[in-house]
Structure 1
Amino acid sequence: MKIIQLFYKSSVFYAFNIVLLISNLGLGKADITGQWNFTNGLQAEIGQDLEWNYEQGEAEFGKASKFKVKTLNNEDPMVMSFPNSDPETEFSGLDVYHGGEPNGGSDWLLNQYTLVMDLFYSVRSYNKPRALIALNDFEGAQFQVGTSNGIGSRSFHGKLRPNQWHRVALTVDHVLGEANYFVDGNLVGTEAIGKATDDNGRLAMEDVFHLFNHSSESFGGFISSLQFRDEAVPASVIEELGQANAAGIPSEPPSKPYLVSMTPKPTPFRRPVPTDILPNTVIQSTWKDGKAAMRKDTVKLNLNGKPLDVSAKRSDDTVMISAIPENLLEPLGNYEVLVKFNDSNDESHSKQWRFTVTNFQKIQSDIALPIASGREPGFLVRSAQATAEAAIRHDYNRAIHQLEDILTDIEGNAVENVAYPPEDGREFDLIELIDFQKEGSIFGHFEMDDYFPGIPGEEDHDTNFSTEVLAYLALKAGTHRLGITVHVAKPDQNDEDRFKVFVGGNARDRFSQEIGSFELTLLGFREGPNDTTFDFTVEKDGLYPFRIIYWNKSRNAALEFYSVDLETGERVLINDTENNDSIRAFSSVGQVRRPYVAMASPPPNTSGNSKDTPISIVLSDDETKVDASSIKMYVNRRRAKPSITRAGRHTFVEHLPEHKSLSELDYDVKLTFKDSTETTLTREWSFSVDARDKMEITGYWNFSSKLKAVIGSDLVYLDGESGATASATEFGITTDFGVNDISGKPASVMKVGHVGSNANFGYLMEHGVSANGGGNRANQYTIIFDVLFSGLGNGWAAVLNMDSQGDGDVFWRRGDGGLGQGGGGYEPDDPELKVNQGQWHRVVLAVDLAKGVYEKYVDGQYHSTQDNAGLDGRQSMKPSAWLFNDNDGENGEVYVAAIQVRNGKVSQEEAKALGGASAMGIPMPTPVRGLWNFDEGDLSATLGQTLDYLDGAKGATAGATDFGTTESFGIDGIDGKPANIMKIGHVGSNQNFGYLMTHNIEPNGGGKQVNQFSLAFDLYFSGKGSGWASLANFDNKGDGDIFWRRGDGGLGQGGGGYEPDDPEVKINTGQWHRIVLAFDLAAASYKKYVDGLYHSSQSNGGLDGRQSMGPTTWLFNDNDGENGEVYVGSIAVYERELTAEEALAMGSPKSSGIPTNLESAPDPEVIPTISLTLQADGLITIEFKGNLQSSANANGPWKDIDATNPATISGSETRQFYRTRN
């Protein structure tokens, strides 16, 4: 007997949010934690030594008299002379690790602290900006001496006289919300700085601050003493400190043991930066006794809450605490150290700090071979070269195709390999060192340069080539840093030598581990050597197979491969037999090289792949060959039937899976095959497909609410809220700035001022585009700008820095209205198509670097194609890009009305449809034209224009309007969760009560009014007020047009207009509901939906009738007082009639509000089916949909059957159960 069971797919999602909070335990009273008197350079009197932020530069130490500086109380103090500085100078200030403890309610920030400095400025610095304290390394100084010679942050107080010593002090207290400033013991000013929010104040300090560091020019002076306290001391203490003194700022030994050094150093957490902290780092801190000594027997050290075995060694009055983590730390892992101890008075103390580990990879130990197996020292190297005039791309895919000798040009023609082959008919040359330059000239860090093997080729040119390097590296267990140096041209030439490095059991295989790739480090408008380093760990000694793929375009060409000493930074060429520290390389280990996967598409671990992209694999023979007849492919555990063809040494495998739903589909692929020695090889990988192929908006900013995003993440000032960008940024409407309206209509805009050279100027845009195109970065995207260039500022105005480093990537050229970068990169195909000064334009950058395509459009017209660096090249984006940024000051004044990012490249037709700049913003695939979620506690729009009080800001509507949360108003949350909402009170009869909604929808439907549109509301009626509560007055006059009826929960207007078709579809008092009103008055259609369900159709006035809209609509308005108390979670207006399917997909209210994108109703899952037919020969045919499984027991365990529909089984089988499932 057979049992047939049908199972339906179910998915369970688990989300874990783990928050680890380690509090300070038993902190003693605040104390002096840092004192520096410059008597011995950067050495501390109390606390940790100072460090140069970058280089010492022109800073010097010596007696004041050495610098012809006045004495202090008739004595000649030791001082540090610090020069004028800016971001380009070697001297950029000092890093001060202050050793203070978190306070003011925070577990990791100092919200209360005091700084005291003895300073001298000459007349040369008088009336000039002078940086004092920067709280981070990107924003510029938060505390300065201003051009008025006063001290402060946003306001300046007192006066520092030139050619005089002054004792300058500041106290910060975010508990009280004030900063106080002192000169020579006197309080000269108080500044309101706000109280800490979420334990984080604007001027709160992390573990380090930066002395004399600024984001722009700062003038120099002299310092003789510096003191830090982790408390905001009262004014009386500062008064007692008095004036500057040659003996330094008065201090005494701290009462408790104090920190002298810590390893690893703390890393910033407010805005993380790359670190060089290694995975095998030892955690150490050194302490010095204060008035009380440390009891080393009480020391404990926790790492992320877990205790480590700790060593505490005393030497005189110093104790060194050390601990080694049990395992290697994780790449990019965030760690928190907590040290606890008691002192000789038995008081407990603690210190905590955070750090982030560098990015590194772990190499699997199972690929290691015995070091003794290495044969033939050196590298196997070969090159392949195209003809000089070949039209080929410049990316990794080109390199692989070229090396596999299956490269075609952009027109699909085969490209000949003109590189000289290795000698004696071998596949590779044996090379001792990887230190190549195309002409054998010295380049980079070493002087052993040789020609690239096979280059120049038969055509006697040295461009358009790729090189493959193979070797087994002898690595010791531990952490390693390898480096590769290549040539890069100037940014506008888009000519960078690039590379990837792989390691694996077969390093030639596409599924080997990529551990390194080109990273642009030669910043600025420069040409020369570019260094890239990459870190990794190995668990045991052994020989590890490595592969380098290098590709060149034109101009220079160079390649160096070396190791970097982790402590000294010394570079040593790999396999330099004259250097005992060199890592040895071997070309052979006595094993046969087997076939490998040369290419695989879609690439492993990628998402968003097109549904039309087949699974495609290219197998390449090596010393053994592929047996094509043995190839098997499994897709999601089901046997597939790919096409298999063979040409030369390559076997091509291709299969297009059947996509069963319009959603993101995950695929697991398994490929097995045998080689000519009957060895079975298996490769497995995963990828996902977006079967909808639907481009989405991932970022949209219209500047109606400053830097707040309509869609995606808010923009951020690149140099912080107190930096030059914020100072140069203004918000308003076109008329405020006296610039042209957009198509005759005023619009909200952001003005970006011109500031001159400032590498940190700009806006950080988290664009929301995931890595795509088969690369590690965003390679397929579109960015759209509505901009007006005033012409003020530089002749080249940066628009975008795509890779967030170095030179900008897109510029406007004032001289001719050009758009682009580099020689020939600004000119349009049509000379009349310009980006004119003083005019609004819509600029579209459409990028698909997977295909080597980067197109520009202006006002819907094709502008030109831009040269680019291909997949993962400089035009690709990391998770963020920088707007209006350039490293050397090529920026200009620009007005911006909107910016939009899409996660794919628009076509020429789509770009044309976008047209020119519009006051209504950049069109979106979604029909939403206005959205209000009330997250900001006001009437501002999430999308579109701000709502207005119909009777003004001081009228009855404003008086009856409150903003808060469901919790603050004491009502139910939305879908069980708290949400930001607006409360509309009941005021009785008032025909001017309500809200003015400007919807930005043009007349449509063939009439003079808006006839095709939809409105959606998330509402909660309390029942207070009138028995009829108005929702909207479409024609802005007389009676409202849509009401809620309290008596029966009806929705509509007029006799018979309130009743639903289904009596159960009601709008109940005291419950949240989502109401959708959908209109096509050109067809006399007006439909209502509640919580996704059809409610009813409403009689209407037809085309241009009373339900049609003019430029505005009045919300919650009625002329005779039919209104009621209502809570509003979200409101949206759409430029067309929503369908029943779309209303159904919108469903019930959500705490997140009405979404900006409309989703179609979900496709029903493919329902598994199964049927059995007994054949005359005794066989049983199973016809099924889904995944066929069998079991000897009805309760399982069930196993997948490798079968396609229909399947055949023997009727003589013993008892067996079958089922299908998704």
Structure 2
Amino acid sequence: PDNGGAAGANIDPLVRFRVNIGTVGTYRLYLRWGGFDGGSDSVYAGLVGFTDSAGGTVADWYRYARTLTANSDFNGGWHGAAGFERTDAGGGGDDVAATWVISSPGLYTIQLSQREDGASVDALSFQLSTLPAPTDPGPPESAVSTTFPVAVAARTPAANAVGVFPDTSITVQIADGGSAQLNPNSVTLSLNGTALSNPTTTKSGNTTTITAAAPNLLPAGSVNSAAVVFSDNASPAKTSTNTWSFTVENYATLTPGLARPAGTVDTASSGFSGTVHQARTDSLLPNSIQRAEDELRGLLIDPLTGARYVNHATVTNFTDQDVINWNRDAGGLGNEIGNFRADSAPPFPDEPIPGIPGDEASYENIAAELISYLDLPAGLIRLGVNSDDNFRVASAVNPRDIGLQLGTFDLLGGRGSADTIFSAFVQTAGIYPVRLVWEQGQGGANLEFFSVDIATGQKILINDRNNPKAIKAYRVSTFVLPPLINQIRPLPGAVNAFPQTDIFVELLDQTSPVNSTTVAMTLNGSAVTPQVARSGSSTKISFDPPGLLPSGSTNAATLTYSDNAGVSYTNTWQFVVRNYSTLPTLPPDRKLTSVDTTKPGFQLRLRLLPSGVLRPGGNTVATAILQLNDAFIDPTTGQPLSRPDQSLCGRQ
């Protein structure tokens, strides 16, 4: 297929190589490949069975792309760097070492597929990552074995996979050997030391697939150990054991206390209520949910004015009685994108983003929130968001609180249109408040909000009233709201928090004012004494932990308070401090004891090479230091090459 990223990494034509790995470790895949021309030269590569869904830490596939030196160039050297789960054309500096961790000896299958139909692979080398990269013409070709044993060919979930769904089944593929075959009656699958009952077994060619379901939902965030024991049909039989582990997604549980009481939701009010804000075109706001929260709450300050950013969207508040299927290029402005399009079955043409383009005709620097009350069944559900860029879905009694996180994608670089699918467990059927925050920085912009039918995998837009399986959404609730958490830092679930961070919460009165004398806080289970300041309808609570929070530590903060009606509230959240243990430390002897504080500024030392003279060794920090130290000598004069003038000066 010559349709670029749309083809995916698992579309025919495919070629697979089965390899017998005897030494465990981290392996790297090097390819020697090329293409017909610059538009037909990229391929996908993966290890069958190594998958934890797109966005995880195990490479479901890598995208290999390079710049051809000439058309029909199929001998461009060996390349072991590729785009991790990328589908784009490459060239963006996103390539990493193409590696997988092999934790058990056995048979493994390398899979190659074409991203573009002019690509051609000449050779591959799958080797321990500690070995040097191959050089032309490459290592000798491995022998083709006829005596290889019966062995595990693939496992699902993959070894070391993270974000695994809690209702996962355990699946193992076992390949027959060269002279012996699997004894299907000998296979036992176990999970966390307990044999799984009623496995299903099928065989295709020389591969037997065994699948068994876990007896219960696996706990959120749990690390689980799976094992398969099997024998061949030789005499005497050889018995083998293969073990691996995986980690379940940290899915949320919706408790009955989050559900709206009967009669407090208007079930005639279909859809979503929303807010959109757009900063000025040239503000170049970063991609982050924290930025979106600040922008939506009027906390983001424009450095040009010292005031809140002006909203350039043509609407601020809106309602949508239908579904969420936004695209900046809707209405024929560009290509449709995501899972739901005009050519879908049934068709769902992309819809414009409310209020966008704004009064500057811009599609950049957007933050939006959607609030709805979702009619959820009891048990495990699966939701999904397709977005460009970041999003966060949460549930709280007051929807605009930070609340219980259900799912998120939040990276500073944002992303192109892609899915994030996440589970939640609903203890009791009911109508639950849900808030979706979405932001866009620069470039593409889209948003889809959907559920996933667990039995079939079908993606269904939330509130698709033409689909009986769709989750219904309502806009209006008359429930009396608790105080609103208008600001909180660090954000719940935040990672890379600064070790010197303070703990800060701002509460805004809703139905009944906050009683500031009832505020209490704990940090990691220990009571602390926060500062409490009340002004108008705002109560600000802050605590500055002494010293630095430990490097890489997970910290839990709990805030309790009551309103003037005597109703008590408790909010608990966690955040992770960035790992600063490897950062350089300035020793005490570097501290200056005598400084002339009457002379502000910097001392500069400059060395300029003569016009037309290139710096020996190229442009690096190391060669710049040599130049500053007059290490480059003019062979004609025996003097430093750098010009002696402008060598030392001061600047304030």
Report 1 or 2 for greater relative contact order, CA contacts < 8 Å, sequence distance ≥ 6. Answer: 2
Larger Rg: 1
1:469 aligns with 2:469: no
C-alpha distance 630-309 of structure 1, shift in aligned 2 (>3 A):
same
Q: What amino acid maps onto 1:498 in structure 2? A: N
Please state whether the residue corresponding to 2:252 is helix, strand or coil: strand
C-alpha distance 662-449 of structure 1, shift in aligned 2 (>3 A):
closer
Matched residue, 2:212: 323
Q: What amino acid maps onto 1:483 in structure 2? A: V
Matched residue, 1:408: 301
Q: Distance in 1 between matches of 2:324 and 2:75?
A: 52
Matched residue, 2:521: 634
8 Å Cα contact 2:15/2:113 also seen in 1: no
C-alpha distance 93-414 of structure 1, shift in aligned 2 (>3 A):
closer
8 Å Cα contact 1:57/1:91 also seen in 2: no
Matched residue, 1:350: 240
Residue from 9, 12, 20 that aligns with 1:56? 12
8 Å Cα contact 1:130/1:219 also seen in 2: no
Q: Distance in 1 between matches of 2:200 and 2:106?
A: 26
Which digits, 9 at most, give the CA deviation of each residue in 1:313-341, with x for residues without a partner? Answer: 68999976443223444658464422235
Please state whether the residue corresponding to 2:479 is helix, strand or coil: coil
Q: What amino acid maps onto 1:431 in structure 2? A: Q
Please state whether the residue corresponding to 2:417 is helix, strand or coil: strand
C-alpha distance 365-511 of structure 1, shift in aligned 2 (>3 A):
closer
- Unaligned ranges ≥5, structure 1: 1-51, 61-81, 99-123, 140-199, 223-243, 487-496, 524-528, 701-829, 842-892, 899-915, 922-1222
Matched residue, 1:1185: none
8 Å Cα contact 1:421/1:454 also seen in 2: yes
Q: How does 1:805-824 map to 2 (within 5 A)?
A: none
Shift of 1:439: 7.2
Which digits, 9 at most, give the CA deviation of each residue in 1:142-162, with x for residues without a partner? Answer: xxxxxxxxxxxxxxxxxxxxx
Please state whether the residue corresponding to 1:673 is helix, strand or coil: strand
C-alpha distance 85-696 of structure 1, shift in aligned 2 (>3 A):
same
Please state whether the residue corresponding to 1:917 is helix, strand or coil: helix
Which digits, 9 at most, give the CA deviation of each residue in 1:355-374, with x for residues without a partner? Answer: 64575533344456489976
Q: Distance in 2 between matches of 1:588 and 1:683?
A: 25
Matched residue, 2:326: 436
8 Å Cα contact 2:396/2:402 also seen in 1: no
Which digits, 9 at most, give the CA deviation of each residue in 1:769-827, with x for residues without a partner? Answer: xxxxxxxxxxxxxxxxxxxxxxxxxxxxxxxxxxxxxxxxxxxxxxxxxxxxxxxxxxx
Residue from 110, 132, 137 that aligns with 1:210? 110
Shift of 1:626: 3.2
TM-score, structure 1 as length reference: 0.34
Matched residue, 1:284: 171
Q: Distance in 1 between matches of 2:462 and 2:404?
A: 21
Q: What amino acid maps onto 2:533 in structure 1? A: I
Shift of 1:282: 1.7
8 Å Cα contact 1:564/1:571 also seen in 2: yes
Q: Distance in 1 between matches of 2:207 and 2:362?
A: 66
Q: Distance in 1 between matches of 2:274 and 2:47?
A: 46
| CA RMSD, Structure 1 to Structure 2 (Å) | 5.7
Please state whether the residue corresponding to 1:402 is helix, strand or coil: helix
8 Å Cα contact 1:85/1:91 also seen in 2: no
8 Å Cα contact 1:481/1:566 also seen in 2: no
Q: How does 1:450-461 map to 2 (within 5 A)?
A: 450-455=351-356
Which digits, 9 at most, give the CA deviation of each residue in 1:352-396, with x for residues without a partner? Answer: 153645755333444564899762331121223445577966643
Q: How does 1:424-573 map to 2 (within 5 A)?
A: 429-438=319-328, 441=331, 443-445=336-338, 446-447=341-342, 448-455=349-356, 463-476=364-377, 477-478=379-380, 480-486=382-388, 497-513=389-405, 515-518=407-410, 530-538=417-425, 540=427, 542=429, 543-553=431-441, 557-564=445-452, 571-573=459-461
Q: What amino acid maps onto 1:403 in structure 2? A: L
Q: Distance in 2 between matches of 1:135 and 1:282?
A: 33
Which digits, 9 at most, give the CA deviation of each residue in 1:749-775, with x for residues without a partner? Answer: xxxxxxxxxxxxxxxxxxxxxxxxxxx
8 Å Cα contact 1:628/1:646 also seen in 2: no
Shift of 1:895: 5.9
C-alpha distance 207-85 of structure 1, shift in aligned 2 (>3 A):
farther
Q: Distance in 1 between matches of 2:11 and 2:182?
A: 35
Q: What amino acid maps onto 1:502 in structure 2? A: A
Identity rate, percent: 20
Matched residue, 2:534: 645
Q: Distance in 1 between matches of 2:203 and 2:114?
A: 40
Residue from 594, 611, 615 that aligns with 1:839? 615
Residue from 270, 274, 283 that aligns with 1:377? 270
8 Å Cα contact 1:259/1:285 also seen in 2: no
C-alpha distance 385-354 of structure 1, shift in aligned 2 (>3 A):
same
Residue from 580, 591, 594 that aligns with 2:479? 591
C-alpha distance 214-406 of structure 1, shift in aligned 2 (>3 A):
closer
Q: How does 1:258-269 map to 2 (within 5 A)?
A: 258=150, 263-264=155-156, 266-267=158-159
Q: Distance in 2 between matches of 1:480 and 1:503?
A: 15
Which digits, 9 at most, give the CA deviation of each residue in 1:260-310, with x for residues without a partner? Answer: 97552654x7xxxx6785332222346689998876665432335443335
Matched residue, 1:698: 583
C-alpha distance 633-314 of structure 1, shift in aligned 2 (>3 A):
closer
C-alpha distance 393-672 of structure 1, shift in aligned 2 (>3 A):
same
Q: Distance in 1 between matches of 2:436 and 2:392?
A: 6
Matched residue, 2:647: none
Matched residue, 1:396: 289
Q: Distance in 2 between matches of 1:276 and 1:658?
A: 32
C-alpha distance 598-321 of structure 1, shift in aligned 2 (>3 A):
same
Which digits, 9 at most, give the CA deviation of each residue in 1:1020-1050, with x for residues without a partner? Answer: xxxxxxxxxxxxxxxxxxxxxxxxxxxxxxx
Q: What amino acid maps onto 1:646 in structure 2? A: S
Q: Distance in 2 between matches of 1:318 and 1:461?
A: 55
Count how many residue pairs are aligned between Structure 1 and Structure 2: 499
8 Å Cα contact 2:35/2:73 also seen in 1: no
Matched residue, 1:917: 625
Please state whether the residue corresponding to 2:292 is helix, strand or coil: helix
Shift of 1:652: 3.7
C-alpha distance 839-366 of structure 1, shift in aligned 2 (>3 A):
farther
Q: What amino acid maps onto 1:595 in structure 2? A: P
Q: Distance in 2 between matches of 1:510 and 1:460?
A: 31
8 Å Cα contact 1:284/1:321 also seen in 2: yes
8 Å Cα contact 1:299/1:312 also seen in 2: no
Q: How does 1:651-662 map to 2 (within 5 A)?
A: 651-657=538-544, 659=546
Q: Distance in 2 between matches of 1:295 and 1:359?
A: 34
Q: How does 1:579-978 map to 2 (within 5 A)?
A: 579-588=467-476, 591-604=479-492, 609=498, 611=500, 614-622=502-510, 624-629=511-516, 631-635=518-522, 637-638=526-527, 640=529, 642-647=531-536, 650-657=537-544, 659=546, 664=550, 669-675=557-563, 678-685=566-573, 698=583, 838-839=614-615, 897=622, 917=625
C-alpha distance 838-500 of structure 1, shift in aligned 2 (>3 A):
farther
C-alpha distance 567-629 of structure 1, shift in aligned 2 (>3 A):
closer
8 Å Cα contact 2:382/2:423 also seen in 1: yes
Matched residue, 2:641: none
Q: What amino acid maps onto 1:470 in structure 2? A: I
